[in-house]
Chain A
């Protein structure tokens, strides 16, 4: 650390101009972006208002995952993506980027507010609250025959166009050539940053070509009732994730004895040597 600091201090003068140049564009920005036209699901619900959404789909998304996703509408992203989208986002979770925070966006419904479009050229707009220079934008559309009541899988996406080395502004337009489709579809985009970060952003925009059949109202599958198993810890034993410990319970972990300082259910990452707030070494 010390050596690096000295180096940084020595280069302060040289870096000052660069630092100023870097500071200026970032001071007004706080985050990133999403598709505004056709509006992505997160943008639609953010525009409706996270606390009082109007459409049934946004109401359901808030009920399923809370409001925070829609305050943070411009961060449906993975910080360490680095182009590995298909490896790190599971099928069925493409709209949330596999993130629990955004799980409301994955709801399989045929009533997400959708823009009416048709085959031919379509101008799309990306709203970037923090435009990052030198970025790649990929656009996809769901295959003919896909239905919004099915999970969205990577294999459902047909590549439309990719625009590399883009320098987006706050609102950036691209023109896509849209193929023939009927009914409801999703335009999916991936914004992969190339400079400064491996972060990538993902968007699902619902569009409607018309002519589709209206599927019956979707019923959300009710999850099976979860049975909570409360394990009664032995008076002494080996620490185990999933066990609920009370103050005074004693465990061994890697041959060392600990006493519980605060009641909690043990989880991975809260092993006794690393959580002095929960465990006292004996």
Chain B
């Protein structure tokens, strides 16, 4: 007799709303005439905001469903809110971007929504196999989205590189999962933790499994030395998609990393802690030093995102309540800063042509003063200057590291953020202190203009509000801890 375990659909309600919206968007794409596609963006926004509202109703509850496959806790919900915010801003950006470049195809929004669903699955997964399914549901739409600007060669190239390396990384991730399954006899995160506490596991298999899992996840969140694909893919993919990948994929990858390291394999922390600390140091340093040499703004932001992955790894290494909450808080801030910077790159473009070289930004302050001021805010925040959110975010991470006895790591992180000032300030210098080259570039026109302005507004508000009044959001992040057993 097979007993069917009880299923609480309420636990996965935000997930279902996003999934159903994606399907509806796909269906509407078939019946809508080509010039009415903006409605698909509105429909997507409707679904995303609806999912967010349902999520707020679940805040504070703690349960699981599908036999522990999905967990409902504040950690998962907090990250779900970050993903949904990222998706809302991405949709707002995409309307202008896709119509400027003749990329208006309905499946764009459906793919974004499916990818968000994958992220949400990753953050709420209670089982390694669900983690894997979430990662694939995130990655497969992103492979297609990176190549969305076909037949543009750089877009296809980015898609192929992302696909081949992403699939390669998935192989490592899966082998890691199977070894952990072999070592502990379970793929359920909580059960793995309880087996490890009892010490009834096969150590060699377990450590090999954790190492392979870290390689696989390291690819997804672009940790050095698994970062080589990042600059190429971020440069070649359509800018709106790059913004989504930079902010969303990283948050989702770190959600999984935090849940696996700080719940499932926490009992063997002594084993993985040195590896994470070394990865953090290498990632920060390589990311920042390489970013200095970049001439293309998308590549520069790609290396900067690698460096920021290093800062978040510092929070992961710190672990505990402080590390977890500072990581969540930083992921939110990081999403606003990067989405904002990419929104400026989109807003500063003309028709199908983008200003991608940093020298193209020379004199932007004279031609488009508001846009230049907004870009300056994001650059200062990325570099970590007060009173922007970037400063508060870094401060909380460094505090968490010092509290948990990793002062040396915090010192290296501070030195790294000093180095990073150099390349962020370079953009500001170009915008404000150089003479403009060529004639002024007109602003984005048409339907997407207001939505792009709204996206920029949300990002600026996020960066400044979280910088000046960080307490409410940080307190929310502090209640978003992982439930451990």
A and B interact physically: no
